[in-house]
Amino acid sequence: MMKLSLVIASVFTCAGCNSHIARQPDDFLVGGDISMLTKIEKLGGVFRDRGKRRDFLDIFKAHGGNCFRLRLFVAPDGKNAVVNDLPYTLALARRIKTARCKLLLNFHYSDTWADPGHQTKPAAWAKLPFDDLEKKVREYTAATIAKFKQAQALPDIVQIGNEITPGMLWPDGRIGGRENTDAQWNRFTRLIQAGIQGVRIGSGEGSKRNVRIMIHIACGGNWRKTKWFFDRLIARKVPFDIIGQSYYPWWHGTLDNLKDNLRRTAMAYGKDIMVVETAYPYRDRQAWKKNAKSKNLVWPISPDGQRAFLSDVVRAVRETPDDRGIGVIWWYPESIPVRGLRVWNRGATALFDSQGNALPAVKAFRTKPSPDASGITRKDTP
């Protein structure tokens, strides 16, 4: 009887630890950040697959798509692409959930873009003392998540901040450079913790936690910087589930750099990992050749080259050791040219051509690991 009790105790203890079970094939998350989809459609954008006009989500699902990311600004001005307020985002989230897809919600904690060059506090929060700012992050996050839950659109994954390699909510939560101090790291992680607490409060989760927490940085091909960041985050006991990385080869290194970082990250931290932003151009070859990091654009700048790139990235993530690579999200796949909107890279990195026709790359989401891939435990390896 004592042995049985010990077994039961160990099972419940392990249920809360960082154990890992190999996933089934359809558990690998693939899709896109489709935050501009509603606006593009309202401005006349349409999408087609094999010549037939279809719902955007249906096209993705037909090619294996099962997860979509949405960003959320606090009080956006509505100009150009800065439209993602709560009502807009909530409506699109319900559409994703109705399509039976996974939802990844991305809190920017800003009125506009938050990224390695900009982590500006919302205007309404700008003059708050630090303790009040921490409280505001918690309360805002909790209230937002509660509204998603009430709308039956509770996210499956929540990002606490966007590309927060240099911190968030500057200057209070800025890290790195002159701010690479224990005091600043402690303030930064207090803000992260407040966001995580807000997710738990808003979702009403107790010991059973269905909403997974992602920490997203922007150095997919840089192990040294990844280690610098997560060593310090983990030392401060920040509880999270998934490491998110951005990987654009013109900024973040070669495919081998990405593979090396995925391998080292999985071995060092035992966390699931997603490439949560990636993209590659299918046209405008001459313009991209002028890019300062064009030496890393080794795939042809063509529809087939774009497909090869995405296939290589999906395969690299799926072959992450110990089955820790769990997904790939394409950045702004819906960015077709429409009147009244400036789209990123003039639409050259969309997964649809200028007329809204699906490009070959949408088929690359189904890419499988190599049969001879070493160091992986995935059940669905051919």
Handedness of CA 95, 98, 102, 104 (dihedral sign): positive
Q: What is the pTM of this model?
A: 0.90
Q: Is the pLDDT of residue 136 over 80?
A: yes
Instruction: Collect all residues with Cβ–Cβ distance below 8 Å to 133 and sequence separation of at least 6.
Output: 121, 125, 169, 172, 191
Structure tokens at 262: 């995925």
Q: Are strands 48-49 and 52-53 parallel, antiparallel or unpaired?
A: antiparallel
Q: How confident is the model at residue 9 (pLDDT cuts 50, 70, 90)?
A: very low
- Would you name the residues annotated as active-site residues? 163, 277
Q: Are 146 and 199 in contact (CB under 8 A)?
A: no
Average pLDDT over residues 118-125: 98
* Segment among 15-29, 96-110, 177-191, 280-294 with least mean pLDDT: 15-29
Could you give the domains of the chain?
Answer: 29-366 (3.20.20.80)
Q: Are 255 and 313 in contact (CB under 8 A)?
A: yes
Token readout for 239 is 């509880």
Residue 214 to residues 157, 173, 273, 281: CA-CA distances in angstroms? 7, 18, 9, 27
Q: pLDDT category, 19, cuts 50, 70, 90?
A: very low
pLDDT band at 379 (very low <50, low <70, confident <90, very high): very low
Distance in angstroms (rounded) separating the CA atoms of residues 65 and 101: 8
The pLDDT confidence band at residue 44, using thresholds 50, 70 and 90, is very high
Query: What is the structure's pLDDT at 292?
Result: 52
| Average confidence (pLDDT) over 139-157 | 97
> Is the separation of the CB atoms in 196 and 213 below 8 Å?
yes
State residue 64's pLDDT score: 96
Specify the pLDDT at position 344. 86
- pLDDT mean over 24-52: 92
Reply yes or no on whether the pLDDT at 293 is more than 90.
Answer: no
Instruction: Specify the DSSP element, H or E, that contains 265.
Output: helix 255-269
324-353 pLDDT, tens digit each: 999 999 999 999 999 999 988 889 999 999
Mean pLDDT across the chain: 90
Q: For residues 244 and 247, what is the distance between their CA atoms, to the nearest angstrom? A: 10
Residue 117 has pLDDT above 70, yes or no: yes
As a whole-number percent, the residues of the chain with pLDDT over 70 amount to: 89
Q: How far apart are CA 82 and CA 110, in angstroms?
A: 11
Of the two residues 25 and 253, the one the predictor is more confident about is: 253
What is the structure's pLDDT at 24? 53
Q: In whole angstroms, what is the distance from residue 364 CA to residue 219 CA?
A: 23
Given a contact cutoff of 8 angstroms between Cβ atoms, the answer to whether 242 and 272 are in contact is: yes
**Amino acid 290: pLDDT:** 72
